[in-house]
């Protein structure tokens, strides 16, 4: 079983990691400095994915549990959405990046390497099996350890109290992907042109549930050209 390190909410580090995995440098992670219209205009387009770092809390866990109960009673069409369950601790950042790239593999060029091998091996697997596959993908996880040169107590605390969730656009719908959820969460219609604004709306809902918490950060996967 591979051992993982918690990932920094740092676009520069994430970009180095993605390139180490073989993701084309034509795409990069950038900070989203605000979730209102004026701030979003500064984010390069097109935007392929949005990552939200959010604080784990009792109120969030209650919301997640209730949401799952409600959605299990409904028929959700998730089509061709790539979603994997988190098995290891400390891998929510890696999972968020995998969710971002895997659901845009038709757009993003991925060179031969650990990520491409993982995605090929994951074809046809359900979310739990994909999570187990990641657990044993030492090359993919070790690439991050090699990059940052080991962990420290500060990042371990950050992982324990904060997690990443990914938003992607698929077939005209906005999906939320989180390794601790059983399935993708559909948040309604979106388009490539409105995706960032639509994802920002859901991010604001996360923040509204934790009005006294400042532990949020938003990053987007965008064109670097």
For the annotated catalytic residues, the residue numbers are 92, 163
d(CA 36, CA 41): 9
Question: Going edge to edge, which strands form the sheet with 217-223?
Answer: 27-31, 217-223, 47-55, 162-170, 173-177, 185-189
Q: How many CB atoms lie within 10 A of CB 225?
A: 8
Q: Measured between alpha carbons, how far is 5 from 93 in angstroms, rounded to an integer?
A: 9
Query: From start to end of the chain, where are the E strands?
Result: 27-31, 47-55, 162-170, 173-177, 185-189, 217-223
H or E segment at 201?
A: helix 195-208
Strand locations in 82-225 (E)? 162-170, 173-177, 185-189, 217-223
Q: Alpha-carbon distance 28 to 213, whole Å?
A: 28
CA distance 48 to 50: 7
């Amino acid at each position: 079983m591979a051992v993982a390190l918690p990932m920094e909410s740092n676009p520069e580090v994430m970009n180095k990691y993605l390139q180490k995995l073989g993701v084309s440098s034509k795409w990069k992670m950038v900070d989203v400095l605000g979730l209102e219209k004026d701030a979003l205009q500064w984010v390069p387009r097109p935007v392929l994915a949005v990552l939200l770092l959010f604080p784990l809390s009792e109120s969030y866990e209650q919301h997640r549990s209730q949401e799952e109960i409600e959605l299990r009673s409904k028929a959700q069409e998730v089509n061709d959405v790539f979603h994997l369950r988190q098995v290891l601790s400390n891998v929510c950042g890696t999972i968020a990046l995998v969710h971002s790239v895997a659901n845009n593999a038709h757009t993003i060029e991925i060179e031969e390497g650990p990520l491409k091998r993982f995605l090929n091996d994951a074809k046809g697997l359900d979310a739990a099996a994909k999570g187990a596959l990641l657990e044993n993908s030492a090359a993919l996880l070790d690439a991050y350890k090699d990059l940052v040169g080991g962990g420290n107590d500060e990042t371990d605390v950050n992982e324990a109290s904060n997690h990443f969730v990914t938003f992607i656009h698929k077939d005209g719908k906005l999906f939320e992907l989180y390794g601790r959820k059983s399935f993708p969460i559909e948040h309604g219609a979106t388009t490539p042109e409105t995706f960032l604004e639509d994802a920002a709306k859901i991010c604001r809902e996360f923040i509204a549930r934790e009005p006294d918490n400042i532990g949020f950060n938003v990053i987007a996967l965008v064109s670097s050209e």
